[in-house]
Amino acid sequence: MSEANTSYRLPEETLPGISFKDHAADLRAIKEFIDTLGIKTHNTRIARYLQYFDDLAEEREIDESKIFKNVNDARFQSSLDWHLYLLRETHELMWILRGLKKHTPKGIESKIEKIVRGSDFAALDTNTESRDTQFELRIASYFCQTGCTVDLSTDTDIIALTDKCAFYVECKRIAGSRNLKDNFAKAKDQILLRMPKSHDGKHTYGVIAADVTKLGFTHNGLTMGLTTDHARDIIQDKLREIGQKTSTLPIFTGRPDIIECLLHIHIPSIITHPPATTTRFSSYSLHNKKSNRKSRSAINALHAIFQASKIIDDREIPPTKLKIRKSIDIPAGTAFHLEQELITSILSATRSQAYEQNAIVASLKMNNLTHEFTASELETVIKRIPAARLHQLANSETTDRIELILEMFAQRYPYENSPH
């Protein structure tokens, strides 16, 4: 069996994950925490997320449009669309809860009140205050989980204290490249204005944290990857690209005490192999290259704090082994269809005929199920075919091309007992 991609090995086990029952349990814990603050959650997005995951955990039939009655957007069509957007929202709240279980920051009440008031989905939020605050709480959670004392009650977004230093953190959500320079300049100015030289006898250090999800993915929607490593690299490539632009800005100029700029992307992903839906929290770090010895020590402490993302949830469902398919059994009566002209154009790489990536190039009807394959899938397959064989296929419209259908089928369903 060929690999799904020339650069990524086909995984041989499922992805670890958290059950929908545990998703619902965390949302219920968040709701109860908010209720203890005297903030109403009835008929808010928190209650609606909980209803969705309760229904999912109990395997009840779900009509998302009845739960989220005010959502009317082209991006919300299939159940998978709804599920991915809900994972994005819920996983961020679950991450915030992990911090609150360890430490309740000063000033949490006003922050929670703001996030509860937000619209159901970040992709539809025209008033950014709720998601801006939610990002602040996401960053604060790293500090809470690792034993820091956290203060959210001042003009500074986050003040986090370790036993040796104090971090003054300004958080920004950046929606477009035009806002990049201005947001970082504003964050730097706010640190210079608000950060004293010491805090309770501890050295102070400035940190800028920026959510650049919408800058990297303008649709503010989702990513797709052949494997989880592929999805990771798609996002990391975006972060590096944004990081290169950010590194040209005078964020650290003249200030060794502003030590770090952290770029974050938070986005749901569809993984093809093995089939899974997940949310990725990815980050990219730019540090002050002219920092002194004390600042370098603070940078190391900060990096240790952000290792909280590697702490494994003890409820995590462990991966299970997958068996890679070694052959395909083709039953009698299987029907094949190829769009010969389009396939010739793709194989010969002339592109004399314009086509869309999702154009159907072939189909296979087997066991009363029809599988349609796209130009994008064919392009992935032909990357693995030797040049001489590719030349033969490009100059032939015989049944030899059925090989391509079988390769696309095997690429889509690479595991034994795959649902198909």
Q: Tens digit of pLDDT for each residue in 184-210? A: 999 999 999 999 999 999 999 999 999
pLDDT of 350 = 52
Confidence of residue 417 (pLDDT cuts 50, 70, 90): confident
Identify the three-state secondary structure at position 106.
Answer: strand
- Is the CA virtual torsion 181, 186, 187, 188 positive or negative? positive
Interatomic CA distance for residues 19 and 59, integer angstroms? 12
Identify the three-state secondary structure at position 102.
Answer: helix
Q: Classify residue 105 by its DSSP letter.
A: -
Q: Tens digit of pLDDT for each residue in 229-280? A: 999 999 999 999 999 999 999 999 999 999 999 999 999 999 989 999 999 9
Interatomic CA distance for residues 261 and 328, integer angstroms? 51
Interatomic CA distance for residues 87 and 17, integer angstroms? 12
By mean pLDDT, which of 45-54, 157-166, 329-338 is the weakest? 329-338
Q: Tens digit of pLDDT for each residue in 340-354? A: 989 998 988 754 557
pLDDT of 396 = 83
pLDDT of 1 = 34
Cis peptide leading into 274, omega within 30 of 0?
yes
Give the DSSP letter string of 33-68.
Answer: HHHHTT---TTSHHHHHHHHHHHHHTT----HHHHS
Tokens 């398919």 found at: 325
Going from the C-alpha of 170 to that of each of 178, 216, 243, 251, 300, the distances in angstroms are 19, 20, 17, 12, 19
Confidence of residue 2 (pLDDT cuts 50, 70, 90): very low
Q: Tens digit of pLDDT for each residue in 71-130? A: 888 788 889 889 999 999 999 999 999 999 999 999 999 999 999 999 999 888 888 899
Domain ranges for the chain: 20-310, 335-412
Q: Tens digit of pLDDT for each residue in 371-409? A: 999 998 898 899 888 989 988 998 887 778 999 999 999
Mean pLDDT of the chain: 91
Expressed in angstroms, the distance from the first to the final Cα of the chain is 18
Given a cut of 50, whether residue 3 has pLDDT beyond it is no
Interatomic CA distance for residues 147 and 101, integer angstroms? 11
Question: HSE on the CB side for 301, CA within 13 Å?
Answer: 22
The one-letter amino acid code at 235 reads: I
Selection from 309, 282, 123, 302 nearest residue 212 by Cα:
282
Q: What is the pTM of this model?
A: 0.86
Identify the three-state secondary structure at position 220.
Answer: coil
pLDDT of 234 = 92
Identify the three-state secondary structure at position 267.
Answer: strand
Q: Beta 276-287 vs 258-271: how paired, if at all? A: antiparallel
